[in-house]
């Protein structure tokens, strides 16, 4: 069994027509819901000033975030499966709205999101609008630490319940979110951990390109029904190609590289 792990996104978009959603919205497991509730309660009690400060937001975004928390959990509140609700750079490249049903079903089965509010989240789990970062705290505890035991246990349990001999977790998340997974525990449980990393002109891809590459990688995996380490090495979207597998820190790193994209030529101004 192979699972891919992606970060959530600050950007969210719940405007997708429900009739075009190709996966059944699932509910967060009870153990994750129980851990989510104290966070929601705390956020609902925060003033706009606190929300603005903890998330480094503008006045307009702080107003929006405050309203999100005021309506969070209300009956009839807008929601969508996670892969349809998130809308940042990685999710723009994943572009789930243009995927066919087999690819979306692959995501529902193989993609997980490490989320500061909902913990270990399936791509199909229903989410509501919210604003929160993994660096935020519940009381005096950073959410990264708060979730670590529960998320790590959920990962191990999911692999154990699948009952498959091969257990591979592919990290396509940012360090901020990946930090709430205990790699040592996973390895002790027989799970192979591989980080997918992306390079450009021999150097690690810059932040924006790195986020987009993660989305492209997950999209490619879903369209090609990739279910093994070897199959994932075939990733070739947007000029990327596999070039080496190395041991780095606590995990194996699968590296993909490409030449720096050439910007389209600027149009010359027409002369009169």
Q: Is the pLDDT of residue 29 over 90?
A: no
- pLDDT tens, residue by residue, 200-216: 998 999 999 999 999 99
Mean pLDDT, the chain, whole residue set: 92
Question: What is residue 91's predicted lDDT score, i.e. its pLDDT?
Answer: 96
Q: Is the pLDDT of residue 265 over 80?
A: no
**pLDDT > 70: percent of the chain:** 96
Question: What is residue 264's predicted lDDT score, i.e. its pLDDT?
Answer: 54
CB contact at 8 A, 111 and 103? no
206: left (phi over 0), alpha (psi -120 to 50) or beta: beta
- pLDDT tens, residue by residue, 63-114: 999 999 999 999 889 999 999 999 999 999 999 999 999 999 999 999 999 9
The Cα–Cα gap between 79 and 93 comes to: 21
Q: Is the pLDDT of residue 271 over 50?
A: no
**pLDDT > 90: percent of the chain:** 83
- Tell me what the mean pLDDT of segment 248-272 comes to: 72
**What's the pTM?**
0.92
CA 120-30-155 angle, to 5 degrees, is: 30
The Cα–Cα gap between 252 and 272 comes to: 60
Nearest one of 114, 120, 108, 195 to 153, comparing CA atoms: 120
- Tell me what the mean pLDDT of segment 217-238 comes to: 97
């Amino acid at each position: 069994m192979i699972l891919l792990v992606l970060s959530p996104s600050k950007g969210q978009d719940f405007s997708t027509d429900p009739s075009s959603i190709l996966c059944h919205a699932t509910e967060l497991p009870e153990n994750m819901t129980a851990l989510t509730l104290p966070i929601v309660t705390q956020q609902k009690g925060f003033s706009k000033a606190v929300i603005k400060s903890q998330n480094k937001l503008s006045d307009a975004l702080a107003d929006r975030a405050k309203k999100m928390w005021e309506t969070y959990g209300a009956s009839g509140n807008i929601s969508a499966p996670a892969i349809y609700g998130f809308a940042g750079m990685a999710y723009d490249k994943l572009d789930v709205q243009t995927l066919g049903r087999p690819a979306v079903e692959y995501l529902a089965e193989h993609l997980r999101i490490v989320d500061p509010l909902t913990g270990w989240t399936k791509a199909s789990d229903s989410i509501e609008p919210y604003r929160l970062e993994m660096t935020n705290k519940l009381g005096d505890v950073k959410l990264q630490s708060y979730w670590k035991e529960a998320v790590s246990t959920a990962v191990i349990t999911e692999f154990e319940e699948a009952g498959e001999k091969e257990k591979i977790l592919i990290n396509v998340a940012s360090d901020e979110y990946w930090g709430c997974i205990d790699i040592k525990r996973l390895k002790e449980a027989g799970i192979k951990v591989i980080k997918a990393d992306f390079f450009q002109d021999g150097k690690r891809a810059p932040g924006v390109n790195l986020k987009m590459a993660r989305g492209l990688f997950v999209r490619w995996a879903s369209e090609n029904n990739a279910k093994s380490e070897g199959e994932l090495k075939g990733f070739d979207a947007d000029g990327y190609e596999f070039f080496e597998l190395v041991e780095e820190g606590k995990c194996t790193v699968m590296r993909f590289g490409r030449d720096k994209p050439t910007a389209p030529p600027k149009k010359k101004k027409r002369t009169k």
